[in-house]
Chain A
């Protein structure tokens, strides 16, 4: 099975043209093709994971299959290949599983949409790109798929392209990511210049012995810009909240398994590059920690259900990046996995609510629990998992991150992480108490969604409960002896950390209940009292406005100047060159007279000229 792992991205990649060219008109068949393809990938991913166990593939002894793609002996070698280690195997499983459930869910959600077939074709391409990224064995290839993921996100976020805001959001995501990708690209070109290879394994062998840490740090910092963009870290996070303009299943996919996970995955793949550079690691840890806190505070004041979830994703991604930064690749990947399940569930649940109500403002919802029992109960399970209550999935992975921060001596980040845990529990249960309990506020009645939508919810709910058990410190062969960097370490349960994070989560839920669990005017009073803070939070710290201001004043101002320069100087030169080229073409064509004798004459003249040109040195004996 592991030999054929390259087929995993191929199935959905093939589904894409099939849907576009063949089954577009038959909607259900299109969905079926897409689902069958991703299901095949899922089965393969399970098989690969099984063989990784059976064959004893470890982080030190990965399986690699590669064929040269472009090569010039001694100058350049670019491979097309796959690298399978436990990291990739786990990721494959998560991506295929979430993508499969999202696609099944979409059959119900997108029912009746005019773009039904193209939606499924894009989803297939999106999954294929992400799976290719996961399997890539070198920087060049991972960048190729990285860009494809970016392109697909553009297509899907802007899926309702006739809606102005959606088109803008797609563009924003694409442009922001392009900025980040450029840094990433420079970074791995630097690595190539230093080591002459793109291959992860060859680099992993070469990097630890490299002396010039200055260049290495530069390359690492540039590579890190990629994840800052893709995984929506401060300050390139602005695209993610807007990305909810896409259809909700796409948000689920982007936030759980594909797009944003790519950045964290790259950090794990390139971990050897960062691990040797304490300064860069510190940067990574603080960027992650800051993003976690920053976006959790914003989430507290949002009213739009998808926006709350979007900021929550950013905050959780911050956790993962922070985990990488404090040196625990295990904790970061573990949280990525559990988060994928419950965040997909939250978005799909939100989609189910939106599908029923056509409303996204939680303060216009209320009492939904009575109408939508399945959606509501699965949503609550996911929220509990996200809040980090034992024994749900989120508890174990979050605990591992906090424990890692604590053990490695990052006390500041540990306190910050605990604070974020409190905020997370608070904003999630604010959402739940307001939307699912209490009175129906705007007279909106929910109704339960069809089975194609609720079954994925139930499966994800089960996973949100159990997925954490693979990594509890109480199980001897947990996640940490499977996916790790350096030495596999056995995590000792840190009861103090566990207890504190549980208490903090409970406190967050309690506060949410006090403020929103029953009719009360406290929230309004608070909002009025701390007007300035509240406004700051509602407006997301004005980051978008700052960027727009910068963009208008600085970028547009500069571009005006450049524009003038461009039009009058550069264009002048290039138009000149272009005209010269065109005109010389027009003049030169008159050499072609159509006259046979002329042609013959030209040939003879040419031979004579060449002979004379060559004769001079030959007669002088220069040749030899």
Chain B
């Protein structure tokens, strides 16, 4: 019998998701807010469970890999899901649909990401990807009365299906060329017999499929529209967790199955990284809607993360892992602030943020410091993350790429500070009220702010953890 206890976190997550679904049917409509609390508590418990398994490793059923790398990402997904759940209490209640389903979908999307990050085999990897994508389609369209939300859902379904098709085609080409769906065996075959044209074509398709998920330019076009239309907490979740899951799977496939082709695919990733950093940052400048701004900022962040892939080293993977974790708190911090603002003001326009610092110092401060972290200003965690990412490619000799990244970070400071300028220097409109924030959301915002400071001031425990987890990819 397989050592199923390694799957504890996945099994419990599935159970939580189904339990929430059932709760949604059983609990009377007036009490459904409680389902959110159950979801948050469950996710917190799962985080503890995942953390306790951080050193576990083994292979289940031949192709499902439990290792510190995967578990690190599971903790990350759970943290993002937890923040999203806390962020959603008021938001979902306001939308007024079945809240049980909402939280169940949230948890099931998390399950999909976990499978994606842990699969050592292409079919289960695809299953995880689809579980994640389909739940996100529903979540993106959850705002039923809002045309933009519906548009977001449709766009995500159609383009997601298309990218899945491309990815699936790539998977089958790789299978055809190597005769196996298990990543490790593919790696051995490729090492032994070298690259065939079919394998290289498969690699290109895989790259396109993953590039879609991590919103790398030019496969990013869905994201601003979907991010803008989807309910704000969902956008936050989509922008951090699904992107991190995409990177986890990308690293697993490219570093696990295709390390011998890295001379081939590294140049593709360089091209993607350059396009993504440049376009994401430039187009963020003229945005007037906070969610679209964050969407483009999130595209540019994917560009920095791609640098870690380009470096093809332990340092690079470790840097991706560290950056992805702080990115959860940085981006979710910004999205939580945006949600808090939307809950009382009903607007996502940056110009409406004028004078926010005087109306709600907490919301403004969380937004400001989250944006500063995204921009990579010390002492925020983002600085350390970018430091490691840039160092990882500098140590590989791509100094020009690091300089480009730093230049683009400078551009990003400009548009992030435009938001800060509105919040701190603008005058609040006549008769504006203070922005009221629910206590749960307040706690979540303060926690993520603290994490950003702590990871920036004392990053070593987490970077060591990330580097050690990354080591397994380069061990024989």
List the interface of chain A (C-beta within 8 A of B). Answer: 67-72, 75-76, 80, 581-582, 584-586, 588-589, 591-592, 594, 596, 598-600, 602-603, 606-607, 610-611, 614-615, 618-619, 623-624
Contact with A along B275-300 (1 / 0, CB 8 A): 00001001111110000000000000
A589 to B384, CA, bound (A): 30
Q: Which of A75, A589, A603 contacts B208 (CB 8 A)?
A: A603
Q: B268 touching A588 by the CB < 8 A rule?
A: no
Residues A588 and B283 in contact in the complex (CB < 8 Å), given A67-B460, A603-B163, A607-B166: yes
Residues A585 and B204 in contact in the complex (CB < 8 Å), given A68-B460, A600-B159, A603-B163: no
A75 to B159, CA, bound (A): 43
14 A-B contacts, Cβ less than 8 Å apart? A70-B387, A76-B391, A80-B458, A581-B282, A581-B285, A589-B286, A592-B221, A596-B158, A599-B222, A600-B159, A600-B162, A606-B219, A610-B208, A614-B268
Q: B200 touching A623 by the CB < 8 A rule?
A: yes
Q: Which of B155, B194, B224, B460 contacts A71 (CB 8 A)?
A: B460
Q: A606 touching B159 by the CB < 8 A rule?
A: no
Chain A CB count within 10 A is highest, among B163, B285, B384, B388, for: B285
Q: Is B130 an interface residue (CB 8 A)?
A: no
B30 — which chain A residues lie within 8 A by C-beta? Answer: none
Residue of chain B at shortest CB distance from A611: B204
Residues A623 and B212 in contact in the complex (CB < 8 Å), given A69-B460, A72-B395, A75-B391: no
Smallest CB–CB gap between A199 and chain B, Å? Answer: 16
A598 — which chain B residues lie within 8 A by C-beta? Answer: 221
A603 to B391, CA, bound (A): 31
A588 to B391, CA, bound (A): 30
Q: B207 touching A610 by the CB < 8 A rule?
A: yes
Residue of chain A at shortest CB distance from B387: A70
Smallest CB–CB gap between A151 and chain B, Å? Answer: 14
Q: Is B7 an interface residue (CB 8 A)?
A: no
Contact with A along B281-325 (1 / 0, CB 8 A): 011111100000000000000000000000000010000000000
Residue of chain B at shortest CB distance from A72: B391
A594 — which chain B residues lie within 8 A by C-beta? Answer: 225
A606 — which chain B residues lie within 8 A by C-beta? Answer: 208, 218-219
A68 to B463, CA, bound (A): 10
A367 to B284, CA, bound (A): 72
Q: A623 touching B459 by the CB < 8 A rule?
A: no
A623 to B225, CA, bound (A): 39
Q: Which of B158, B221, B224, B459 contacts A602 (CB 8 A)?
A: B221
Residues A585 and B286 in contact in the complex (CB < 8 Å), given A607-B166, A618-B197: yes
Residues A623 and B195 in contact in the complex (CB < 8 Å), given A585-B282, A610-B207: yes
A588 to B279, CA, bound (A): 8
Residues A596 and B155 in contact in the complex (CB < 8 Å), given A582-B286, A618-B197, A619-B197: yes
Q: A72 touching B315 by the CB < 8 A rule?
A: yes
A25 to B201, CA, bound (A): 68
Q: A603 touching B395 by the CB < 8 A rule?
A: no
Q: Is B264 an interface residue (CB 8 A)?
A: yes
The 4 closest A-B pairs by CB, nearest first: A585-B285, A585-B282, A599-B221, A606-B218
B424 — which chain A residues lie within 8 A by C-beta? Answer: none
Q: A610 touching B268 by the CB < 8 A rule?
A: yes
Q: B204 touching A607 by the CB < 8 A rule?
A: yes
Q: Is B103 an interface residue (CB 8 A)?
A: no
Q: How many residues of B contact A (CB 8 A)?
A: 45
A598 to B221, CA, bound (A): 9
A76 to B391, CA, bound (A): 10
A624 to B260, CA, bound (A): 10
Q: B263 touching A623 by the CB < 8 A rule?
A: yes
Residue of chain A at shortest CB distance from B467: A73
Q: Is B205 an interface residue (CB 8 A)?
A: yes
Smallest CB–CB gap between A593 and chain B, Å? Answer: 9
B197 — which chain A residues lie within 8 A by C-beta? Answer: 615, 618-619
Residue of chain B at shortest CB distance from A601: B221
Residue of chain A at shortest CB distance from B392: A72
A591 — which chain B residues lie within 8 A by C-beta? Answer: 221, 283
A75 to B464, CA, bound (A): 15
Q: B218 touching A624 by the CB < 8 A rule?
A: no
Q: Is B411 an interface residue (CB 8 A)?
A: yes
Q: A624 touching B285 by the CB < 8 A rule?
A: no
Smallest CB–CB gap between A313 and chain B, Å? Answer: 33
Contact with A along B124-156 (1 / 0, CB 8 A): 000000000000000000000000000000110
A586 to B296, CA, bound (A): 13
Q: B282 touching A588 by the CB < 8 A rule?
A: yes
Smallest CB–CB gap between B297 and chain A, Å? Answer: 13
Smallest CB–CB gap between B56 and chain A, Å? Answer: 26
Residue of chain A at shortest CB distance from B415: A585
A213 to B28, CA, bound (A): 82
Q: Which of B218, B225, B264 contacts A603 (CB 8 A)?
A: B218
A610 to B218, CA, bound (A): 11
B154 — which chain A residues lie within 8 A by C-beta? Answer: 596
Apart from A592-B221, A603-B221, A606-B208: 5 A-B pairs, beta carbons within 8 A:
A75-B391, A585-B286, A599-B222, A607-B208, A619-B197
Residues A596 and B159 in contact in the complex (CB < 8 Å), given A72-B395, A80-B458: yes
Q: A603 touching B162 by the CB < 8 A rule?
A: yes
A582 — which chain B residues lie within 8 A by C-beta? Answer: 285-286
A589 — which chain B residues lie within 8 A by C-beta? Answer: 283, 286-287
A75 — which chain B residues lie within 8 A by C-beta? Answer: 391, 395
Q: B263 touching A607 by the CB < 8 A rule?
A: no
Smallest CB–CB gap between A444 and chain B, Å? Answer: 46
Q: B224 touching A592 by the CB < 8 A rule?
A: yes
A589 to B283, CA, bound (A): 6
Smallest CB–CB gap between B219 and chain A, Å? Answer: 6
Smallest CB–CB gap between B311 and chain A, Å? Answer: 12
A80 to B388, CA, bound (A): 18
A268 to B182, CA, bound (A): 62
A75 to B460, CA, bound (A): 16
Contact with A along B427-459 (1 / 0, CB 8 A): 000000000000000000000000000000011
A67 — which chain B residues lie within 8 A by C-beta? Answer: 460
Contact with A along B452-476 (1 / 0, CB 8 A): 0000001110011000000000000
A592 — which chain B residues lie within 8 A by C-beta? Answer: 221, 224-225, 283
Residue of chain A at shortest CB distance from B197: A618
Residue of chain A at shortest CB distance from B408: A581
Smallest CB–CB gap between B467 and chain A, Å? Answer: 9
Residue of chain A at shortest CB distance from B203: A614
A297 to B305, CA, bound (A): 63
B224 — which chain A residues lie within 8 A by C-beta? Answer: 592
A70 — which chain B residues lie within 8 A by C-beta? Answer: 384, 387, 459-460
B207 — which chain A residues lie within 8 A by C-beta? Answer: 610
Smallest CB–CB gap between B424 and chain A, Å? Answer: 18
Q: Which of A69, A610, A614 contacts B459 (CB 8 A)?
A: A69
A623 — which chain B residues lie within 8 A by C-beta? Answer: 195, 200, 263-264
A67 to B219, CA, bound (A): 42
A618 — which chain B residues lie within 8 A by C-beta? Answer: 195, 197, 200
Q: Which of B205, B222, B225 contacts A607 (CB 8 A)?
A: B205
Q: B458 touching A69 by the CB < 8 A rule?
A: yes
Smallest CB–CB gap between B248 and chain A, Å? Answer: 22
B315 — which chain A residues lie within 8 A by C-beta? Answer: 72
B388 — which chain A residues lie within 8 A by C-beta? Answer: 72
Contact with A along B189-210 (1 / 0, CB 8 A): 0000011010011001101100
User: Which of chain B's residues 337-389 have a Cβ closer than 8 Å to chain A?
Assistant: 384, 387-388
A606 to B211, CA, bound (A): 11
A293 to B324, CA, bound (A): 60
A598 to B162, CA, bound (A): 13
Residue of chain B at shortest CB distance from A603: B219
A63 to B460, CA, bound (A): 22
A80 — which chain B residues lie within 8 A by C-beta? Answer: 458
Smallest CB–CB gap between B194 and chain A, Å? Answer: 6
B459 — which chain A residues lie within 8 A by C-beta? Answer: 69-70
Residues A610 and B286 in contact in the complex (CB < 8 Å), given A67-B460, A69-B458, A602-B218: no
B387 — which chain A residues lie within 8 A by C-beta? Answer: 70
